[in-house]
């Protein structure tokens, strides 16, 4: 080949990954090319070197070796070398760049580079690439992206809360659904949507120590979100070099004790978390170190979710203190707060007359309207019946020196009960860890029963082992003995029998206990067994709860208020009376009834209206069912696995086993376990088999497949055969796909206004534009596979003409890009301004709207407009179709 000159830039046709080479030596029949990417030189025979000359043209972008890019405005040739003239993208200055100074990285337009190098992929890989881009654009625009892949039944109240909260600017809310209705699930959905749409990046979860692992497992199992638990030891290890340990991961769980200890407080505050979740938030009590440290984090982190089923467990002041964590400006006076609460009834009456935006506005004005979401069993329906079984047992006087359990009639009752219960499992909850240990000893010694135990003195691993031992059907324990605090928040809905070995004085604690079984997922009725000694505290409390408030068989949302009103009388009775005094019982009943009526007409009504709007929830469910598009997902992933060397084995109608093979196209694909995994795209199957992967468009493996196909070169150039007798043999077409998108950055979710978009241009061999006349699918239907060798030959024959056509189309693509940008800017301006206006108007009536919510819209508007100025435009895929009849 005589056209070689020193300094020219050539590509290796066989190894485009080497980047752009430079001719360093020409010696008659040989040419030496140096590839700066790895510093290696290759010597080729000049007459058939597998090299392709890189010749860029006007309108294209190129990169200088010093790492800046420019748009080419003119190209000149001098002694066999090309000189590019153009304008730098960063400072707009005019530049002149001899080709020898081009960067060896030629990623600016990989499809074009591959065309120039004469490379082509199989037609099916090209189709898969295009599909990936279409699916990605669709997913980006779905209002339920991030809610598609949760392994959950689609429950309206959860979806409504999650979606509403996830869409807020800097949400700061209290998720306060009744025990076991799915607050953890709601928090997971909020996180998932906000993480996947780029609104949040770094999440810190604070939970009681006993729940750390459950959270870890629940987030992985339900949302495929991988959290890391951080404790003292881990922080020590990671901070060896003085680094902030919390930057080591994006999703972190710590215990409330860890936060209260405060050893790592400053690092936590500097770790740039943008979403904080605090579970069992009723533990946060003002004046404690835990509260103060959490308060400081709340001030530092823009988005906060507090979770508690019993917001008023520590009284209305405690409730107020937690609301202060969310918005100290709004909740600055306890008196005002309490004053507002007394107007619930009038508000509820007004609210029941309203719908739509008027209702929204009114609810927003109700003091906790925007801040708190509380769903109740009563409004959701479909929960199991609860049955109380009480067992009066004779009193006994413990003999001094003997263990109490040798004589306590409740222990022998328990042994008989367990015998009669077989094979059903029983959860027993009592007050303290000591009682748990004593009871375990009693059952071992007196009945030979090996009980699983669960209390705050155990390590997490021990607790998880105990839970697993209890859950096991085969050789598991028939009973799990739990202390009060040790079992909070835990999931035991596979059990139907609960023994309350003693009774707490606080109605919220009773509700928490029953909530271990009475949770979503409970398949049977819940049986609550209370063995009690006559004339004991339990005997009194049993009547107080059952006869006074029906608190065993029904959820008791006002129990806390009754307790506060009667606390002293109850204490006196517990200290001195043998049975519940009639007047106390009567007052309890009356006040309970009065509160139920008042709250139902007032607070509860408002909370119900705020916590779930059935029509909006139904729409979300419909969106999820549509956008999940399980059949399309399955077909797409099957083609992907096939093309990328992943082995598949169909297990049954809904399940498949997938495993990396030895012939993978890439070394590893994120989200695909090394030793394989069973998958399903069917929600019911995923719910029935929790150990298999539920694939959805949100799943990390599917996202990785899409990313691989759309950001790497796979399928970016292909040649296919057309068999159309109406066309002359040898007629050919060039189909170009341009893609534009905004970089995913920061927390502004600019892609909402500018999702990935594509421009298709179809040209015939004369360069005539047939885009509108011949749709893509029509061509694809007629197109068939061409073997690789022929495909490459064709590419080499046609690449010069194709390159020329591509160059001619550049202005069309640029004009389209400008149009897209203008449209997106208009839309963004309009929508964001409307959002701001609405919030400003609302703020005039309702102080619950925070200034930072409004400021966040301004900040987002500025950032979005900035991002919309610089979307990327790239030639995403090139298809050449050649008619061969």
Ligand X SMILES: Nc1ncnc2c1ncn2[C@@H]1O[C@H](COP(=O)(O)OP(=O)(O)OP(=O)(O)O)[C@@H](O)[C@H]1O
Which of 115, 304 has the CB closer to ligand X? 304
**Measured between alpha carbons, how far apart are the two ends of the chain, in Å?**
34
Q: How far apart are CA 195 and CA 274, in angstroms?
A: 10
* Residue with smaller CB distance to ligand X, 110 or 149: 149
Smallest gap, in angstroms, from Cβ of residue 800 to ligand X? 59
List of E strands, 413-467: 426-430, 452-454
Residue 11: beta bridge partners?
20, 52
Nearest CA-CA partner of 179 in 364, 344, 38, 313 = 313
Is 543 exposed, middle or buried (CB count within 10 Å of its CB: 0-12, 13-18, 19+)?
A: middle
- Residue with Cβ nearer ligand X (162 or 751): 162
Beta carbons of 12 and 117 less than 8 angstroms apart: yes
Q: Is 183 annotated as a binding residue?
A: yes
Strand ranges for 246-401 from DSSP E:
251-255, 275-278, 303-307, 372-373, 386-393
The DSSP output letter for 102 is B
Of the two residues 120 and 147, which places its CB atom closer to ligand X in the complex? 147
Q: Given CA atoms 73, 76, 81, 83 in this order, what sign does their dihedral have?
A: negative
Q: Is 19 or 559 the residue whose CB approaches ligand X more closely?
A: 559
Element (H, E) at 258: helix 256-261
Q: What are phi and psi of 666, to 5 degrees?
A: -130, 155
Q: Which residues contact 21 (CB under 8 A, 6 or more apart)?
A: 9, 10, 11, 12, 33, 34, 35, 36, 42, 51, 104
According to the annotation, is 553 in a ligand binding site? no
Quick check: 783 and 720 in contact, CB under 8 A?
A: yes
Min. distance of Cβ 254 from ligand X in angstroms?
A: 18
According to the annotation, is 182 in a ligand binding site? yes
Query: Least distance (Å) from ligand X to the CB of residue 702?
Result: 21
The pair of structure tokens assigned to 212 is: 């750390």
Question: Which of residues 113 and 184 has its CB atom nearest to ligand X in the complex?
Answer: 184
402 is in an annotated binding site: no
- Residues 778, 781, 784, 788, Cα dihedral to 10°: 60
CB of 146 to ligand X, least distance (A): 15
Instruction: Tell me whether residue 158 or residue 607 sits nearer to ligand X (CB atom).
Output: 158
**From CA 360, how far away is CA 370, in angstroms rounded?**
10
Q: Among candidates 815, 871, 870, 810, which has minimal Cα distance to 60? A: 810
For residue 95, say whether it is annotated as part of any ligand binding site: no
Judged by beta carbon, residue 427 or residue 873, the one nearer ligand X is 427
Nearer to ligand X, 438 or 518 (CB): 518
Nearest CB to ligand X, comparing residues 520 and 856? 520
Angle between helices 603-611 and 356-365 (to 10 degrees): 130
Q: What single string gives the DSSP state of each residue in 468-494?
A: HHHH-TTT--SEEEEETGGGTT---TT
Q: How far is the CB of 424 from ligand X (least distance, A)?
A: 19
Burial class (CB in 10 A: 0-12, 13-18, 19+), 688: exposed
378 annotated as ligand-binding: no
- Bridge partner residues of 205 (DSSP): 253, 277
CB 490 within 8 Å of CB 516: yes
Strand positions, DSSP E, 90-182? 94-98, 172-175
What is the contact surface with ligand X in residues (CB under 6 A)? 152-153, 155, 158, 177, 179-185, 309, 489, 491, 493, 515, 519-521
If the CB atoms of residues 618 and 666 are measured against ligand X, the closer one turns out to be 618
- Report the residue number, 152 or 658, with the smaller CB distance to ligand X: 152
Identify which of residues 369 and 489 has a Cβ nearer to ligand X in the complex: 489
Judge whether 215 and 279 are in contact, CB under 8 Å: yes
DSSP tally for the chain: helices H, then strands E: 29, 31
- Closest to ligand X by CB, 160 vs 732, is 160
Closest CA to 564 of 546, 582, 587: 587
Element (H, E) at 575: helix 559-576
CA angle 727, 714, 635 (to 5 degrees): 80
**Is the dihedral angle over the CA atoms 267, 271, 276, 277 positive or is it negative?**
negative
Residues 436/482, Cβ–Cβ less than 8 Å: yes
| Residue pointed to by tokens 């008619």 | 883
Q: In the bound complex, what is the minimum distance in angstroms from residue 134's beta carbon to ligand X?
A: 30
- As a whole number of angstroms, the distance between CA 102 and CA 418 comes to 80
Q: For ligand X, which is the closer residue by CB, 319 or 643?
A: 319
Tell me how far, at minimum, the Cβ of 186 lies from ligand X, in Å: 7
Least separation in angstroms between CB 492 and ligand X: 9
Question: Least CB distance from residue 197 to ligand X, whole Å?
Answer: 21
Q: Dihedral (C-alpha) 767, 771, 775, 778: value to the nearest 10 degrees?
A: 0
Structure tokens at 858: 């301004």
Closest distance between ligand X and the C-beta of residue 156, in Å? 10
Nearest-approach distance from CB 489 to ligand X, in angstroms? 4
Q: Is 181 among the annotated ligand-binding positions?
A: yes
* Smallest distance from ligand X to CB 400, Å: 40
> Annotated binding site: which residue ranges?
177-184
**Residue ranges for the binding site for ATP?**
177-184
């Amino acid at each position: 080949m005589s056209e070689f000159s020193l300094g020219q830039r050539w590509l290796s046709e066989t190894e485009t990954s080497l980047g752009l080479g430079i001719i360093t030596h020409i010696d008659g029949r040989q040419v030496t090319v140096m590839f700066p990417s790895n510093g290696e030189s290759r010597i080729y025979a000049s007459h058939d070197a597998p090299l392709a000359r890189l010749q860029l043209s006007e309108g294209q972008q190129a990169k200088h070796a010093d790492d800046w890019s420019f748009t080419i405005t003119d190209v000149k040739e001098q002694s066999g070398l090309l000189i590019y003239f153009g304008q730098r993208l960063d400072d707009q200055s005019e530049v002149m760049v001899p080709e020898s100074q081009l960067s060896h990285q030629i990623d600016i337009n990989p499809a074009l580079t591959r065309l120039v190098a004469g490379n082509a992929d199989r037609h099916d890989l090209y189709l898969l690439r295009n599909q990936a881009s279409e699916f990605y654009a669709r997913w980006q625009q779905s209002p339920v992206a991030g809610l598609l892949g949760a392994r959950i039944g689609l429950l309206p109240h959860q979806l409504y809360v999650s979606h509403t909260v996830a869409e807020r600017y800097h949400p700061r809310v209290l998720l306060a659904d009744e025990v076991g209705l799915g607050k953890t699930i709601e928090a997971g959905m909020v996180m998932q949507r906000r993480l996947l749409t780029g609104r949040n990046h770094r999440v810190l979860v604070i939970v009681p120590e006993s729940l750390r692992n459950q959270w870890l497992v629940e987030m992985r199992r339900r949302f495929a979100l991988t959290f890391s638990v951080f404790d003292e030891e881990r922080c020590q290890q990671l901070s060896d070099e003085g680094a902030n340990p919390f930057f080591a991961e994006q999703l972190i769980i710590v215990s409330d004790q860890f936060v209260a200890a405060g050893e790592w407080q400053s690092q936590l505050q500097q770790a740039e978390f943008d979403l904080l979740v605090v579970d069992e938030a009723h533990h946060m009590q003002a004046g404690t170190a835990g509260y103060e440290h959490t308060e400081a984090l709340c001030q530092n982190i823009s988005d906060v979710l507090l979770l508690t089923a019993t917001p008023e467990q520590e009284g209305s002041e405690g409730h107020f203190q937690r609301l202060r964590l969310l918005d100290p400006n709004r909740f600055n006076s306890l008196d005002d707060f309490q004053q507002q609460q007394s107007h619930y009834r009038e508000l509820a009456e007004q609210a029941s007359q309203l719908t739509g935006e008027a209702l929204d506005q009114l609810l927003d004005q109700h003091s906790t309207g925007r801040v708190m979401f509380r769903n109740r069993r009563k409004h959701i329906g479909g929960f199991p019946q609860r049955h109380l079984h009480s067992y009066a047992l004779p009193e006994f006087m413990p003999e001094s020196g003997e263990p109490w359990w040798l004589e306590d009639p409740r222990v022998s009752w328990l042994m008989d009960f367990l015998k009669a219960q077989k094979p059903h499992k029983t959860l027993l909850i009592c007050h303290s860890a000591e009682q748990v240990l004593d009871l375990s000893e009693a059952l071992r010694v007196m009945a030979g029963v090996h009980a699983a135990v669960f209390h705050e003195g155990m390590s997490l691993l021990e607790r998880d082992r105990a839970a697993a031992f209890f859950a096991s059907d085969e050789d598991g324990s028939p009973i799990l003995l739990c202390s009060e605090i040790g079992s909070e928040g835990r999931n035991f809905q596979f059990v139907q029998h609960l023994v309350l070995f003693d009774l707490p004085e606080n109605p919220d604690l009773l509700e928490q206990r029953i909530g271990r079984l009475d949770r979503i997922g409970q398949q049977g009725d819940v049986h609550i067994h209370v063995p009690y000694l006559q004339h004991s505290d339990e005997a009194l409390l049993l009547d107080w709860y059952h006869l006074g408030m029906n608190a065993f068989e029904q959820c008791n949302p006002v129990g806390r208020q009754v307790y506060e009103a009667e606390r002293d009388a109850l204490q006196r009775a517990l200290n001195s009376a043998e049975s519940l005094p009639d007047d106390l019982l009567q007052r309890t009943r009356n006040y309970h009834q009065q509160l139920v009526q008042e709250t139902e007409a007032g607070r509860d009504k408002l909370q119900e209206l705020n916590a779930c709007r059935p029509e909006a929830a139904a729409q979300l469910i419909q969106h999820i069912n549509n956008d999940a598009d399980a059949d399309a997902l399955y077909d797409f992933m099957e083609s992907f696995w096939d093309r990328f060397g992943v082995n598949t084995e169909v297990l049954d109608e809904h399940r498949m086993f997938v495993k990396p093979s030895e012939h993978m196209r890439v070394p590893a694909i994120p989200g695909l376990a090394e030793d394989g995994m069973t998958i399903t795209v069917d929600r019911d199957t995923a719910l029935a088999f929790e150990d298999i992967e539920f694939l959805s468009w949100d799943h990390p493996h599917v996202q990785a497949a899409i990313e691989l196909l759309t950001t790497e070169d796979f399928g970016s150039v292909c040649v296919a055969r057309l068999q159309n007798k109406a066309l002359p043999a040898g007629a050919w077409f060039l189909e170009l796909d341009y893609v534009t998108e905004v970089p995913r950055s920061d927390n502004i979710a600019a892609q909402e206004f500018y999702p990935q978009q594509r421009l298709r241009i179809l040209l015939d061999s004369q360069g005539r534009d047939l885009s509108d006349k011949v749709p893509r699918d029509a061509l694809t239907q007629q197109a068939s596979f061409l073997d690789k060798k022929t495909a490459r030959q064709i590419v080499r024959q046609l690449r010069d003409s194709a390159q020329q056509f591509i160059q001619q189309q550049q202005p069309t693509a640029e004009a389209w890009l400008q149009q897209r940008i203008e449209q997106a800017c208009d839309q963004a301006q309009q929508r964001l301004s409307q959002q701001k206006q609405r919030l400003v108007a609302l703020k005039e009536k309702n102080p619950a709207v925070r200034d930072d919510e409004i400021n966040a819209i301004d900040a987002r508007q500025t950032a979005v407009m900035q991002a919309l100025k610089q979307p990327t435009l790239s030639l995403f895929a090139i298809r050449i179709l050649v008619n061969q009849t």
